[in-house]
């Protein structure tokens, strides 16, 4: 027997309609590429998103067509989020930090029909425009006064011109909630980037879960600063969450340095910010150097890479900002786990609490996880046994766009499909998952695993170290041994011996790296993660006799 409740499709457009109707005068503030601060409201955003839907229609965009964006976090990008998906087309956010050849490949693979871009990326667009065979129009996200001249790009349009000549009368169409709404390619550190195609339903369900108190905990009383880019995994869903709960949004645009972020946090009274550890490092350095403090910031969610306990400690104990450590991936829309404490953890002492919060956290409702041992057997949730992490749920990828790379799922004995994350993890009795490594970055010494993340976290806690990466180096006797590649704080002095002595008593002796190499900088990928494959290439023979 079916239930007798109304059927209403879960559609992206419903979010902006809700935000307009119930929070119409709530602000969206953006630092613009043009240099100034722009402010308007959800009502304005909704009106311009409707104009955008009409503009796209006039450009020949039809449902299911892909429309690319190369843009920072800002109000025009937000209008595209709703204009493109709302009309039934697919918003394809492109990571501008990828190599130009990869971007050209992605645009071609996605068959983007129109490509919107911020002026920052004009040089990039110039180099790839000739190779983007499917793109019928390029749109510079600016006004007439800032339009670049003599670009050599055929069919270059101006965003504000396009909106100006489009009516704001538009009724969002109703369609099947399983329709695709957005496309995001993984960074592709190995092989070609693979496209993850989100649906309206998966995105809406993800939004409900992300807003929950033990997830991002967002409300109409919040002012949210998403520093995580809208060009990668939809800024962790924050542009959707803000509409659902009616929170004020503050977009940093291209200003991602410590000073620019701090000024925005203070000026707009930000209560909640989201970003990867590398971005927060810059902000914390700025505060420390200037002897500054936060006056309104209450919470920050840190993810995308492991949050070093030292950073967690500085935020919480130094500045009174609660840290939520989260884990996810492009294939998970991206939220999988988040480190919100349970009632019994509130009584923990500062060190135990910090240790728990350094784990990647508990699964949000909707995400099932399990860890498997080397023979595929399911491992206990004892906080010690570590194995391959698999997940499933309504916002987990089922297949990559155009079947790239084949079916990624592993089918279990009950015929359920599980997505292998490529991460190695433990899960404790409270359900807190902890990533010990990426499977491809694992260090296997004498047949036993060493957690590179744990070693990196410890190194980052040394006052003279700015950042560190631990990699597997080939070894005559043990096959592999850990090698620490470290970057010193500006002006700081520390020797390899001093750094290694710092590990004493903190980890098993045989986990201690065999050597330390100091470098000026570690290579970072397009999403701010250390490119360990490059470090391995450079240093994998370091421990071998020459
Ligand atoms: P990419 O496109 O580079 O794969 P993703 O954002 O999809 O970018 O990266 C997902 C991966 O990032 C995860 O599989 C995991 O290895 C790593 N990751 C994400 N969050 C965390 C975290 N909090 N701690 C450790 N690793 C993380």
Average confidence (pLDDT) over 522-545: 90
Does residue 214 have a pLDDT over 70? yes
Average confidence (pLDDT) over 307-327: 96
- CA quadruple 532, 537, 541, 546: dihedral positive or negative? negative
Extents of the domains making up the chain: 13-255, 443-538
Does residue 187 have a pLDDT over 80? no
- What pLDDT digit, counting tens, does each position of 528-537 carry? 788 998 999 9
What is the Cα Rg of the chain in Å? 24
Choice from 191, 325, 329 to test ligand 1 binding pocket (greatest atom count within 8 A of CB): 329
291 DSSP assignment: T
Q: Assess whether 186 carries a catalytic annotation.
A: yes
Q: How confident is residue 235, by pLDDT bands cut at 50, 70 and 90? A: very high
Q: How confident is residue 190, by pLDDT bands cut at 50, 70 and 90? A: low
Residue 14 host element (H or E): helix 13-23
- What pLDDT digit, counting tens, does each position of 371-402 carry? 999 899 999 999 999 999 999 999 999 999 99
Supply the pLDDT for residue 189. Answer: 57
Q: Does domain 13-255 have CATH number 3.40.50.12780?
A: yes
Residue (of 285, 305, 279) closest to 73 by Cα position: 279
Does residue 191 have a pLDDT over 80? no
Quick check: CB of 424 below 6 Å from ligand 1?
Answer: no
Is the preceding peptide bond at 334 cis, omega within 30 degrees of 0? Answer: yes
Q: How many CB atoms lie within 10 A of CB 221?
A: 10
- What pLDDT digit, counting tens, does each position of 338-378 carry? 999 999 999 999 999 999 999 999 999 999 999 999 899 99
> DSSP string of 18-59?
HHHHHHTT-EEEEE-TTSSEEEEEHHHHHHHHHHHHHHHHHT
CA of 208 to the centre of ligand 1 (A): 22
Task: Pick the range with the lowest mean pLDDT from 68-72, 95-99, 228-232, 524-528.
Answer: 524-528
Average confidence (pLDDT) over 406-420: 91
CA of 2 to the centre of ligand 1 (A): 40
Provide CB contacts within 8 A for 103, sequence distance 6+. 70, 94, 95, 96, 124, 128
| Cα gap 215→233, rounded to integer Å | 17
Does residue 243 have a pLDDT over 90? yes
Does residue 481 have a pLDDT over 60? yes
| Residue of 179, 186, 330, 421 marked active site | 186
Quick check: CB of 434 below 6 Å from ligand 1?
Answer: no
CB environment 371-408: b (16+ within 10 A), e (fewer): bbeeeeeebebeeeebbbbbbbbebbbbbbbeebeeeb
Shortest-distance Cα residue to atom 26 of ligand 1: 305
Choice from 328, 440, 534 to test ligand 1 binding pocket (greatest atom count within 8 A of CB): 328
Mean confidence (pLDDT) of the chain: 95
Q: How confident is residue 188, by pLDDT bands cut at 50, 70 and 90? A: low
What CATH number matches the domain at 443-538, 3.30.300.30, 3.40.50.300, 3.20.20.70, 1.10.3720.10?
Answer: 3.30.300.30
Q: How confident is residue 264, by pLDDT bands cut at 50, 70 and 90? A: very high
- In the chain, the percentage of residues whose pLDDT exceeds 90 is 89
Supply the pLDDT for residue 278. Answer: 86
Between strands 387-392 and 410-411, the pairing is: unpaired
Residue 77 host element (H or E): helix 75-86
Does residue 164 have a pLDDT over 80? yes
Supply the pLDDT for residue 405. Answer: 84
Quick check: CB of 436 below 6 Å from ligand 1?
Answer: no
Quick check: CB of 435 below 6 Å from ligand 1?
Answer: yes
Q: Given the CA of residue 233, which atom of ligand 1 is nearest to it?
A: 6
Average confidence (pLDDT) over 80-102: 95
Q: Given the CA of residue 302, which atom of ligand 1 is nearest to it?
A: 23
> DSSP string of 95-124?
-TTS-HHHHHHHHHHHTEEEEEE-GGGHHH
What's the pTM value of the predicted model, to 2 decimals? 0.92
The pair of three-digit structure tokens given for residue 479, joined into one six-digit string: 């096959």
Q: Given the CA of residue 303, which atom of ligand 1 is nearest to it?
A: 23
Helix residue spans in 247-341 (DSSP H)? 258-267, 277-290, 309-313, 319
Q: Given the CA of residue 330, which atom of ligand 1 is nearest to it?
A: 7
Residue (of 503, 504, 485) closest to 441 by Cα position: 485
Which single residue is written with the structure tokens 């057997």?
377
Supply the pLDDT for residue 527. Answer: 80
Q: Assess whether 449 carries a catalytic annotation.
A: yes
| Cα gap 416→436, rounded to integer Å | 26
Task: Pick the range with the lowest mean pLDDT from 84-98, 136-150, 440-454.
Answer: 440-454
CB environment 328-340: b (16+ within 10 A), e (fewer): bbbbbbbbbbbbb
Average confidence (pLDDT) over 73-91: 98
CA of 329 to the centre of ligand 1 (A): 5
Average confidence (pLDDT) over 281-302: 96
CB 368 within 8 A of CB 209: no
**401, HSE (Cβ side, Cα atoms, 13 Å):** 27
């Amino acid at each position: 027997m079916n239930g007798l409740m109304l059927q209403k499709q879960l559609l992206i457009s419903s979010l902006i309609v809700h935000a307009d109707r119930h929070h119409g005068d709530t602000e969206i503030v953006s630092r613009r590429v043009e240099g100034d601060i722009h402010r308007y409201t959800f009502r304005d955003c909704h009106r311009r998103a409707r104009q955008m839907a009409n503009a796209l229609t006039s450009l020949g965009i039809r449902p299911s067509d892909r429309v690319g964006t190369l843009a920072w976090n800002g109000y025009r990008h937000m209008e595209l989020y709703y204009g493109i998906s709302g009309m039934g087309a697919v918003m394809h956010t492109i990571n501008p930090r990828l190599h130009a050849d990869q971007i050209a490949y992605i645009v071609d693979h996605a068959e983007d029909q129109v490509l919107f871009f911020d002026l920052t990326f004009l040089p990039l667009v110039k180099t790839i425009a000739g190779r983007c065979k499917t793109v019928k129009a390029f749109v510079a996200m600016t006004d007439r006064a800032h339009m670049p001249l003599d670009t050599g790009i055929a069919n270059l349009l101006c965003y504000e011109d396009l909106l100006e000549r489009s009516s704001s009368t538009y009724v969002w169409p109703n369609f099947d909630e399983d329709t695709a709404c957005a496309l995001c390619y993984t960074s592709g550190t190995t092989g070609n980037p693979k496209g993850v195609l989100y649906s309206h339903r998966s995105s809406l369900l993800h939004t409900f879960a992300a807003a929950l108190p033990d997830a991002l905990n967002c409300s109409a009383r919040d002012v949210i600063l998403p520093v995580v880019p809208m060009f990668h995994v939809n800024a962790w869903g924050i542009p959707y969450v803000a509409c659902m709960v009616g929170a004020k949004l503050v977009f940093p645009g291209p200003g991602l340095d410590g000073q620019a972020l701090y000024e925005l946090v203070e000026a707009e009274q930000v209560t909640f910010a989201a970003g990867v550890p590398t971005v927060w490092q810059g902000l914390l350095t700025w505060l420390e150097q200037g002897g500054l403090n936060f006056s309104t910031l209450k919470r920050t969610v840190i993810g995308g890479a492991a949050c070093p306990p030292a950073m967690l400690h500085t935020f919480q104990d130094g500045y009174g900002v609660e840290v939520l450590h989260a884990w996810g991936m492009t294939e998970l829309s991206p939220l999988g786990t988040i480190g919100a404490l349970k009632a019994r953890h509130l009584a923990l002492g500062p060190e135990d609490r910090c240790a728990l919060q350094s784990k990647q956290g508990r699964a949000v409702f909707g995400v099932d996880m399990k860890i498997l041992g080397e023979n595929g057997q399911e491992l206990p949730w004892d906080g010690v046994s570590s194995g391959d992490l698999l997940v499933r749920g309504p916002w987990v990828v089922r297949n990559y766009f155009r079947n790239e790379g084949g079916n990624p799922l592993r089918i279990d004995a009950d015929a359920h499909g599980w997505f292998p994350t490529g991460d190695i993890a433990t899960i404790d009795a409270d359900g807190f998952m902890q990533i010990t490594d990426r499977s491809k970055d694992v260090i296997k010494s004498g047949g036993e695993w060493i957690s590179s993340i744990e070693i990196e976290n410890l190194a980052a806690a040394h006052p003279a170290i700015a950042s560190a990466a631990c990699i597997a180096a080939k070894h005559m006797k043990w096959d592999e041994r850990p090698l620490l590649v470290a970057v010193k704080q500006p002006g700081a002095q520390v020797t390899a011996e001093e750094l290694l002595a710092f590990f004493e008593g903190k980890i098993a002796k045989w986990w201690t790296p065999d050597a330390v190499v100091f470098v000026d900088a570690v290579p970072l990928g397009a999403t701010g993660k250390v490119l360990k494959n490059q470090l391995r290439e450079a240093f994998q023979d370091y421990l071998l006799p020459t």
